[in-house]
Amino acid sequence: MTEHTLTVAGVAVDTRHWIGGERVASAETFTDVSPIDGSVLGEISRGTAAEADLAVAAAKAAFPAWAATSRAERARILHAVADGVEKRIEDLAIVETTDNGALLRSHRRGVMPRVAHNFRFFADWLLKLDHEDFETRGHTNHVSWDPAGPSVLITPWNAPLMLSTWKVAPALAAGNTVVLKPAEWTPLTASLLADIAAEAGLPAGVLNIVQGYGSEIGDALTSHPDVRRISFTGSVPTAQRITQSAAANLTPLSLELGGKSPLLVFADADLDLAVDLAVEQYDNAGQVCLAATRILVEKTVAEEFTRRFAEKAAVIVQGDPRDEATDIGPNIHERQLEKIDGFVRRAVEAGARAVIGGHRGEGRYYAPTLLTDVAQDSEIVQEEVFGPVLTLQTFTTEDEAVRLANDTRFGLAATLATGDRDRAARVTQRLVAGTVWVNCFFVRDLQAPFGGSRHSGVGREGGTWSFDFYCDLKNTVTAPKGWKDHG
């Protein structure tokens, strides 16, 4: 071990940046702490504008060669990265669980395999990316996707590696070079990704990873004149700052932001299914942007729904995320816990009633909470909590249900429980959301467009939509005449 290496559950992690194919240390560091028990994991290199400039310069220098690399070769390397991820699933899983507190069993069985799939999917999609030529008055139109250039990707802490590679994989497949800035609360698996990518043969400078605070290195990245794309997942206030920062250079943005998504439960729904869907919203301690945190239940079944919900939620096991029996781990940070508790306390002071929960546990754990008697215009209904806190309201008509569902500034997702196919068709058409689930939740396919409406985001990524964002689309029009025969 060296001064720049820490060990997490037996796994060595380099604490320095990855720039131009080399490890680069900063003069200052920040402390990384595990949310499981508050233990210090290590000191991480804390980047500034200087490291931002180095990383963008490395990405810019590597771009021409990577953009000129054939689709087949780019795809081969991305598959090699996926192979490397699969070989290290256990390492990645335990490091990420320790760093962000999400369930180890989920990381092993779902999240880290999805990381590998992100690379494989976009590698394969690249090879079939095409648009059929078409004619205009005898002239041939040919559409192509040209690599745009260095791309800055800024990712959150709730699913660090999966959400990072959801951006990294299509950006690299498109022929762009990348500067990735992971969240400062969860930097470790991004460092491991640098090792995996290097071992897979990704050329130096194609993927660069810098660590630090948004105000110190993030702003320098998003305002950099050599950056051609910015993709961000996180909060609305940060997105507003990024948008202002990028405006001077007219850098295209893709923003996936917060949510305050509804779950609509109609009286004709399978009530057991609806309850299962509702309790599922506590996944990852409520730290899921897509979570349906506003439960809207038809009044005639609200009492029965609430009773069944409380019974099912009562058996949730909250504890150490490394334990196979645990259902919910800790929240990420003391600051986040204070925020969650503040929302709940203010709601109760305003008249809300906690059917379950409503309080902190020991350490960084917050009890799964369901609040009723909440007003539509109240803070707890309108603002994103990002913790295990749900609200329950009732409605009497379909129109009222849709009105309540749409009555926030967000529009990321919505979930609908009903036994009536016609109603499902009517209601989903009227809901303002980037994704709508009917009688299910969190079924995701990388072919589908993903993003939010209103304050939940700008743009869509996934499948061809990702390449549309990370590339400059070009249409080449060729005349049928004017050619000289060199035969």
Quick one: DSSP state of residue 440?
Answer: -
> Within 13 Å of residue 444, how many CA atoms lie on the same side as its CB?
19
Query: pLDDT exceeding 70 applies to what percent of the chain?
Result: 99
Residue 272: partners with Cβ closer than 8 Å, 6 or more residues away: 308
- For residue 129, give both structure tokens: 């990316």
pLDDT in tens, 251-304: 999 999 999 999 999 999 999 999 999 999 999 999 999 999 999 999 999 999
> Is residue 61 very low, low, confident or very high in pLDDT (cuts 50, 70, 90)?
very high
Q: Which residues, listed in sequence order, are joined to residue 31 by a DSSP beta bridge? A: 43
pLDDT in tens, 304-329: 999 999 999 999 999 999 999 999 99
> Is residue 487 very low, low, confident or very high in pLDDT (cuts 50, 70, 90)?
low
Three-point CA angle 266, 271, 274, nearest 5°: 75
Three-point CA angle 160, 275, 293, nearest 5°: 45
- For residue 99, give both structure tokens: 């760093």
pLDDT in tens, 177-224: 999 999 999 999 999 999 999 999 999 999 999 999 999 999 999 999
Give me the chain's average pLDDT, please: 96
Q: How far apart are CA 20 and CA 204, in angstroms?
A: 5
Query: Which pLDDT value is given to residue 121?
Result: 98
> Is residue 339 very low, low, confident or very high in pLDDT (cuts 50, 70, 90)?
very high
Query: Which pLDDT value is given to residue 436?
Result: 98
Query: Which pLDDT value is given to residue 471?
Result: 98
Quick one: DSSP state of residue 419?
Answer: S
pLDDT in tens, 101-158: 999 999 999 999 999 999 999 999 999 999 999 999 999 999 999 999 999 999 999 9
The pLDDT of 78-94, averaged and rounded, is: 98
pTM of this prediction? Answer: 0.95
State the helix-helix crossing angle for 89-100 and 112-128, rounded to 10 degrees: 120
Domains of the chain: 5-257 (3.40.605.10), 262-438 (3.40.309.10)
Q: Where are the beta strands (DSSP E) in 26-115?
A: 29-33, 40-45
The pLDDT of 427-431, averaged and rounded, is: 98
The residues carrying an active-site annotation are 256, 289
pLDDT in tens, 362-409: 889 999 999 999 999 999 999 999 999 999 999 999 999 999 999 999
Query: Which pLDDT value is given to residue 429?
Result: 97
The pLDDT of 330-334, averaged and rounded, is: 94
> Within 13 Å of residue 113, how many CA atoms lie on the same side as its CB?
6
- For the cut 80, the answer to whether the pLDDT of residue 446 exceeds it is yes
